Amino acid sequence: MKFEMTHLFLGTKEIFDEKHAPDWLTSKNTIRGSTMDCRWFWEEHILNLKIGESKETDFQIIKRIN
């Protein structure tokens, strides 16, 4: 799976796959259940996107491109 993440205010883009996603999104360096644990969003929402679908966060739009 490949994703394109576009910053809503700056317009910057980043492309990543499920193995190299940003730490803030996967929460791999976060304590499970902490207030900074976004693992639920990654696992339940982002990884379930179909090609062409997207999710919007406060600052980003994450779209599955492959």
CA distance 17 to 24: 14
Q: Give yes or no for a contact between 26 and 39, defined as CB atoms under 8 angstroms apart.
A: yes
Domain boundaries, the chain: 2-64
pLDDT tens-digit readout, 15-50? 999 999 998 888 887 878 787 787 889 999 999 999
pTM for the model: 0.86
